[in-house]
């Protein structure tokens, strides 16, 4: 198969620039809220867990859902475009979601 980019993205440079623009726009239009929880490890380290807050969900529903665990790349957190996109997918497909930040 031959790769065919989006018609406006005529090459990899334009495609990268368009992705930056789309990410900036979506950063402010995708509304996601997270509840932060600090988990202390046995060795003295800490891990920040950011749990996705689902709109219109009761506590009983939370206990019965599968959990999607996302670990962003170096320097990443829950404000990244792909994390917010996955949060939307988690809500639409009925998953709990947690972002692990070291």
Q: Is residue 36 part of a domain?
A: yes
Number of compact structural domains in the chain = 1
Question: Hunting for tokens 């996955």 — which residue is that?
Answer: 86
Structure token digits, residue 89: 């997918």
50 CB-contact burial (10 Å; exposed 0-12 / middle 13-18 / buried 19+): buried
Structure token digits, residue 28: 């402010």
Q: Is residue 57 part of a domain?
A: yes
pLDDT tens profile 62-93: 556 799 999 988 877 787 878 888 888 888 88
Structural domain that includes position 89: 32-101
Contact indicator for 54, 91 with CB cutoff of 8 Å: yes
Give the per-residue pLDDT at 50.
93
pLDDT tens profile 20-42: 888 788 777 777 888 999 989 99
pTM, rounded to two decimals: 0.68
Q: Is residue 73 part of a domain?
A: yes
End-to-end CA distance of the chain: 39
* CA–centroid distance for 81 within its chain: 7
Give the per-residue pLDDT at 15.
81
Q: Is residue 25 part of a domain?
A: no
Q: Is residue 22 part of a domain?
A: no
């Amino acid at each position: 198969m031959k790769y065919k980019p989006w018609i406006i993205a005529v090459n990899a440079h334009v495609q990268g620039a368009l992705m930056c623009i789309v990410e900036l726009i979506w950063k402010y239009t995708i509304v996601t809220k997270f509840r932060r929880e600090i988990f202390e490890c046995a060795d003295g380290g800490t891990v920040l867990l950011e749990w996705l807050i689902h709109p219109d969900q009761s506590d009983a529903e939370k206990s019965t859902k599968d959990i999607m665990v996302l670990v962003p790349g170096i320097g990443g957190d829950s404000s990244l475009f792909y994390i917010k996109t996955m949060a939307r997918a988690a809500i639409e497909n009925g998953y709990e979601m947690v972002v692990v930040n070291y």
